[in-house]
Chains A and B, each alone.
Chain A
Amino acid sequence: MPTAAALLQFDAVGVRLDGGQVLLVDVTAEAVAGSITVVAGPSGAGKSTLLRLGNRLEVPTSGRILFEGVDTATMDPCELRRRVGMVFQQPVLFAGTVSDNLRVADPAASDGRLVTVLEQVGLPPEFLERTADDLSGGEGQRVCIARALLTEPRVLLMDEPTSALDPTSRRAIEDLALDLAERGLAIMWVSHDHDQAERLGDQLVVMRDGRRVGTDEALAYLRDDLSGDDLSGDDQ
């Protein structure tokens, strides 16, 4: 049963492509306000697909997704996406300055508002005039998070946001996620790093072959008793 504070609920969702390929089967999960739900599992387990369903970049072929109790299939997708933000694995930066990039999310935002979101992600105001091409991977990802925050989302979907970053930047982004969750945001964070899952996860969803595995298996994964390779085993 979903908890009362669950903002985003995946209710037995499945995804089957036109060609018959099955990406997800009966997955139930939720993102809870003020906490981080880590979606873990090996490559190809369906983690990113699950996340993309959250702000309707993909749609389920079975089951349903609820945002604040409302079936997202009945909502305006653009409005939903502004309430359920998304940060991708590789920082996606557009040509121009950091300020230009932030204004893609909100063209009418004042400079003061841009400075506020930059500070939220730990970047100084001078960054507004920096060219996006000149940013490091970690800085770029922070700008992407700041851009997502400009739409004032209640849920933030983060698809392996640290996989392309060095250890220092990785920890900085993790701290930022913990801070955002503390301020009430519901975060879903995809990872295939066991330690990271343990550090961040208030809830853990472990996936294998498009399915969510049971509690025992998930705990074993967290204890590192099950490696990603084990999880990707062809026992089905």
Chain B
Amino acid sequence: MNSTHIGWAGLVGSFALIVIAIALSSWQRLHLSRSIAWASARAAVQLLLVGWALRLVLDPHASVAWAWIWVAVMVVFAGLTLRQRVPEVPGILWLGTLAMLTVIVVSLAVIFGFGVFPIEGRTIVPLAGMMIGNSMTSCVLVGRRIVAEFSEKRDEIEARLALGHRWSDAARPYTRNALRTALVPQIETTKAVGLVFLPGAMTGLVLAGVDALDAVTIQLALMYLILGSVATSVSVIGLGLTRQLFTSDHRLRRLDRSAS
């Protein structure tokens, strides 16, 4: 066994940690044993299916078009997942899809445009997955924050509108707060990298036997990519959602926070 091939035996061995987690849950009567077992089993099935499909897409002889189709499916699923997670945000399906599409176009254009990575199936799919995955949490956060902020501060926003402010001016302080709230965690994560934790990609590369400095440069490029992606997606959702909360004649729409 080498460090990049743990085999089925290695996988089963790592499952011992899940057994420990279930045992701890039972001991402390957390009633989470079934959830832990279900989560691990579901992750295994999902990843094995993905791995099988990835093999086809990442085959050096396969057309790169398959990788782009994979990315398109990821974008659509990201929109659907966002709608499921924050149903109270109006229009989140199309806003989320638009945000992810923007992230993919902007970030991959930079990464491939500067030749950071070659345009291949083995780079397109994981990079897109990383960007979308990391953007999701921030998108949920900014969506929730804007809906909360605009509901709680409705009086203030209407007072600004009543003074003749355009919708964009009336909304700016509240949208800005929401954007900051959504971006700060990713900025903190970026600041703490290397000191508090070693990120997954770098750990994977080191485990795979790549030189530590090479692993670091790749990881740094990825961190920048993620930070840029999160900023882009949060801005698209934040600004798009803000616009949607106003009518064309500068009135604030009523918000139903329990809307689905």
20 further interface pairs, Cβ-Cβ under 8 Å (given A57-B161, A81-B164, A148-B162): A56-B249, A56-B251, A57-B251, A77-B249, A77-B250, A78-B166, A81-B163, A85-B162, A88-B158, A88-B159, A88-B162, A90-B155, A92-B155, A92-B158, A104-B160, A104-B163, A105-B163, A148-B163, A151-B163, A151-B164
Q: Which 9 A-B pairs have the closest CB atoms?
A: A82-B164, A92-B159, A86-B162, A81-B164, A78-B164, A105-B163, A77-B249, A77-B250, A92-B155
When chains A and B are docked, how far (Å) is the Cα of A57 from the Cα of B251? 6
A residues near B, CB below 8 A? 55-59, 77-79, 81-82, 85-86, 88, 90, 92, 94, 104-105, 144, 147-148, 151
On whether the beta carbons of B158 and A57 are closer than 8 Å, the reply is yes
On whether the beta carbons of A78 and B250 are closer than 8 Å, the reply is yes
Is B180 an interface residue when CB atoms closer than 8 A count as contact? no
Nearest CB of chain A from residue B157's CB, rounded to whole Å: 10
Nearest CB of chain A from residue B153's CB, rounded to whole Å: 10
Interface of A is mostly: mixed
Complex contacts, B156 vs chain A, CB 8 Å: 92, 94
Is B165 an interface residue when CB atoms closer than 8 A count as contact? yes
Task: Please name the residue on chain A nearest to B159 by beta carbon.
Answer: A92
When chains A and B are docked, how far (Å) is the Cα of A144 from the Cα of B156? 12
Complex contacts, A82 vs chain B, CB 8 Å: 163-164
When chains A and B are docked, how far (Å) is the Cα of A82 from the Cα of B160? 11
What are 25 sample pairs from A and B whose C-beta atoms fall under 8 A apart? A56-B249, A56-B251, A57-B158, A57-B162, A59-B249, A77-B249, A77-B250, A78-B165, A81-B162, A81-B163, A81-B164, A85-B162, A86-B162, A88-B158, A88-B159, A90-B155, A92-B155, A92-B158, A94-B156, A94-B159, A104-B163, A105-B164, A148-B162, A151-B163, A151-B164
Complex contacts, B166 vs chain A, CB 8 Å: 78
Nearest CB of chain B from residue A165's CB, rounded to whole Å: 17
When chains A and B are docked, how far (Å) is the Cα of A156 from the Cα of B234? 39
When chains A and B are docked, how far (Å) is the Cα of A144 from the Cα of B160? 11
Query: CB within 8 Å of A: which of B207-260?
Result: 249-251
When chains A and B are docked, how far (Å) is the Cα of A111 from the Cα of B217? 55
Task: Please name the residue on chain B nearest to A94 by beta carbon.
Answer: B156
On whether the beta carbons of B164 and A79 are closer than 8 Å, the reply is yes
Query: CB within 8 Å of A: which of B141-172?
Result: 155-156, 158-166
Complex contacts, B158 vs chain A, CB 8 Å: 57, 88, 92
